[in-house]
């Protein structure tokens, strides 16, 4: 998974470690937060861009989003870098906004969509894998 903040691409991974780091930093559940952001985006389909941004910002604060991105990005990326990139990503879209300079809020939606797809593919792969007995797995 990848996000782009202020023209820089970051690799992301939602993992148990990321979930624990986000919970420790914010007291919130990473999965629930991603669901709330995604839900705000879906529910505002067809509404103005400003209404959509307000709904996403109501689902997650800037500070919590910093911690979320910090938890899911490579540990060589500092919290200060994430914070700065988010601030310079703007707070809404403007004429000339591209996927490289979208507001952080839309990159959070992008992360939620990518994670949803990843989980769907994982579930499909597990479902299609033939069941094996414990004896077969150990041999």
4, β-bridge pairs? 9
Average pLDDT, the chain: 92
Query: Binning pLDDT at 50, 70 and 90, where does residue 118 land?
Result: very high
| Tens of pLDDT, residues 26-61 | 999 999 999 999 999 999 999 999 999 999 999 999
| Domain ranges within the chain, ordered by starting residue | 2-120
Instruction: State CA 36 to chain mean position distance.
Output: 11
- pLDDT the model gives residue 1: 96
Backbone dihedral region for residue 61 (phi beyond 0: left; psi -120 to 50: alpha; all else: beta): beta
Decide: 109 and 38 in contact? Cβ < 8 Å.
yes
CB atoms within 10 A of CB 102: 21
d(CA 26, CA 61): 11
- How deeply is 57 buried, as exposed, middle or buried, from its count of CB atoms within 10 A (0-12, 13-18, 19+)? middle
**Nearest by Cα to 61 from 94, 100, 95, 22:** 22
Task: Give this prediction's pTM.
Answer: 0.86
Q: Give the pLDDT confidence score for residue 133 in this predicted structure.
A: 54
pLDDT at 135: 54
């Amino acid at each position: 998974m990848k996000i782009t903040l202020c023209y820089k691409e970051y690799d992301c991974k939602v993992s148990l470690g990321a979930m624990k780091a986000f919970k420790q930093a914010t007291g919130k559940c990473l999965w629930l937060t991603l669901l709330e952001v995604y839900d705000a985006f879906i529910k505002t389909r067809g509404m103005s861009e400003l209404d959509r941004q307000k709904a996403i910002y109501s689902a997650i604060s800037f500070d919590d989003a910093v911690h979320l991105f910090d938890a899911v990005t490579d540990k060589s990326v500092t919290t200060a870098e994430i914070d700065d990139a988010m601030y310079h990503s703007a707070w809404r879209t403007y004429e000339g906004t591209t996927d490289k300079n979208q507001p952080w809020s839309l990159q959070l939606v992008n992360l939620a969509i990518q994670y949803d797809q990843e989980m769907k593919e994982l579930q499909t792969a597990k479902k299609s894998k033939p069941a094996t007995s414990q004896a077969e797995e150990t041999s």
